Amino acid sequence: MRELFDDVFGNEPLDPMESARRNMRPNLRKRFYERAAVGKGAPYPVLLDDRVVKTPAGSTLAAPSALLAQAIAAEWNAQGERINPATMPLTKLANTIIDGVAPNPEPVVQDIAKYLGSDLVCYRTGTPEGLAASQVQHWDPVLSWAREAHGARFVLGEGVIFVTQPEHAIASVRAAIPSDPWRLGAVHLITTLTGSALIALAVAGRQLGVAEAWAAAHVDEDWNMKLWGRDEIALARRVARFADMQAAATVLLTK
């Protein structure tokens, strides 16, 4: 089972050009099971025809809650004649958490904390007025949450000039980074998808919905498309990334 699973999810090419070429000619493995289900006991293993699934690193693919395990199993049941990893973002995230985050969480915490020093929502524009107003609308609630929930007052800058944030603000919000590996992995994924640890932590704290967070992450991009027209390539990429965002939110809401 591990070898089959590794063929599906493992050995991703590191070279971006090679990755692009593979995506143009995907070699999808034929579905080798009839039904995915959830086993008994916590953590709850995902089963393919009553056989325990292994992650690429050889660990058991198991979730901390039955609901989360059922959501992972649903991705496997939704596959057609061939298994397409691109349609299984929750399984991919589970692999990352089990194989990467759980054994060594500190580098993940540090990476999230780095975003706090130059968070997206702290860098504003003065013009045009419409874009500035949209940033205020979507980003100010995030900063208000950080201030009210954690006593963290972040400094705003204009343009791309770096602004040094108060150490107290960073330390206060850093303390809110989850220690649980599943929640930590989900927060890290949202941070990288949005460019904002504050947005990710607001989602984890249930202060920001997924749609609100996604809109906040794309204020500038949406303004540019409103001004210059739709970018179909960017929108298609955003759809794929939003699937990852939803997977992370599923972990946070069902963990």
Predicted confidence pLDDT, tens digits, the chain (255 residues): 444 445 566 544 444 434 444 444 468 999 999 999 999 989 999 999 999 999 999 999 999 999 999 999 999 999 999 999 999 999 999 999 999 999 999 999 999 999 999 999 999 999 999 999 999 999 999 999 999 999 999 999 998 889 999 999 999 999 999 999 999 999 999 999 999 999 999 999 999 999 999 999 999 999 999 888 888 888 888 999 999 999 999 999 986
The CATH number that applies at residue 32 is: 3.30.2180.10
Judgement on whether residues 142 and 219 belong to the same structural domain of the protein: yes
Judgement on whether residues 120 and 57 belong to the same structural domain of the protein: no
Return the pLDDT at 23: 47
The CATH number that applies at residue 195 is: 1.10.3580.10
Return the pLDDT at 60: 97
Q: Is 170 left (phi over 0), alpha (psi -120 to 50) or beta?
A: alpha
* Domain encompassing residue 175: 106-254
Q: Which two tokens stand for residue 101?
A: 């985050």
Sign of CA dihedral 129, 135, 140, 146: negative
Judgement on whether residues 126 and 166 belong to the same structural domain of the protein: yes
- Split into its structural domains, the chain has a count of 2
Paired strand residues for 157: 123
The DSSP string of 39-86 is: -SSSSEEEEETTEE-B-TTS-B-EESSHHHHHHHHHHHHT--SB--GG
Residue 60, in any domain of the structure: yes
Contact status, residue 2 vs residue 54, Cβ threshold 8 Å: yes
Q: Please tell me the distance from the alpha carbon of residue 92 to that of residue 52, in angstroms, as a whole number.
A: 17
Judgement on whether residues 71 and 137 belong to the same structural domain of the protein: no
Largest CA distance in the chain: 59
pTM metric for this prediction = 0.89
The radius of gyration of the chain from alpha carbons, rounded to an integer in Å, stands at 20
Residue 94, in any domain of the structure: no
Q: How many helices, marked H, and strands, marked E, lie in the chain?
A: 12, 6
Return the pLDDT at 9: 66
Residue 96, in any domain of the structure: no
Judgement on whether residues 243 and 135 belong to the same structural domain of the protein: yes
Q: Please tell me the distance from the alpha carbon of residue 43 to that of residue 52, in angstroms, as a whole number.
A: 12
Residue 99, in any domain of the structure: no
Q: Please tell me the distance from the alpha carbon of residue 43 to that of residue 244, in angstroms, as a whole number.
A: 22
Return the pLDDT at 18: 43
List the one residue out of 15, 219, 197 whose CA is nearest residue 118: 197
In the chain, beta strands by DSSP E: 36-38, 44-48, 51-52, 62-63, 123-124, 157-158
